[in-house]
Amino acid sequence: MDSSNLKAPPTVSLLDRFIISLEKVIKEPIFDCRMCGQCILHDTGLTCPMRCPKNLRNGPCGGVRPGGKCEVLPEMDCVWVRAYERSRRLPWAEHFFQINPPLDWQLQGTSSWANLLSGRDKVRPAGWEGREQDFDEYVGFAESMIEDDL
Ligand code: SF4
């Protein structure tokens, strides 16, 4: 195999490694964090969406089982059912209806704290900006449907 066109892996500084380890040590036991590098726990009732076997970032799939169980892992509660229930108890419950952009898998394994500070987690895929506006109407509709629940 010709290895001349293979890129060298990006270098990770000692400080980066320290921050990544610190975030992992704190968030893994508490939230079962999968280190996606773009944390949205704040908007998901402090429930990590990356625990969903389908890695869904905007609500459940169509396969939620009776009793709120996961379609893929029936022994597990659906992450999004739990996220919804838990978000109801938070003072910022309405954030649950925010539409999240697609996950940038290049950030997997990096620190979401560092990405938040640098603004790297706000970089959107080309074409996404327009989509966020399209979704405004849907979000307003969803919020009004469960207004009484808040
Ligand atoms: S959303 Fe990402 S960074 Fe936040 S807890 Fe889940 S895997 Fe970790």
Higher per-residue pLDDT: 148 or 128: 128
Q: For residue range 97-123, list pLDDT tens digits in order.
A: 988 888 999 999 999 999 999 999 988
- The residue nearest atom 4 of ligand 1, judged by CA position, is 39
Identity of residue 144: S
Residue 94 has pLDDT above 70, yes or no: yes
The binding-site residues of ligand 1, defined as CB within 6 angstroms of any ligand atom, are 27, 31, 33-36, 39-41, 48-50, 112
The rounded distance, in Å, linking the Cα atoms of 116 and 39 is 8
Ligand 1 nearest-atom number relative to CA 37? 3
Answer whether 138's CB lies under 8 Å from 59's CB. Answer: no
Q: For residue range 10-32, list pLDDT tens digits in order.
A: 667 899 999 999 999 999 999 99
pTM listed for this prediction:
0.80
**pLDDT cut 90: percent of the chain above it:** 67
Residue 150 CA: distances (Å) to CA of 89, 122, 132, 144: 9, 28, 24, 10
User: What are the extents of the domains in the chain?
Assistant: 14-149
Q: Is 35 exposed, middle or buried (0-12, 13-18, 19+ CB in 10 A)?
A: middle
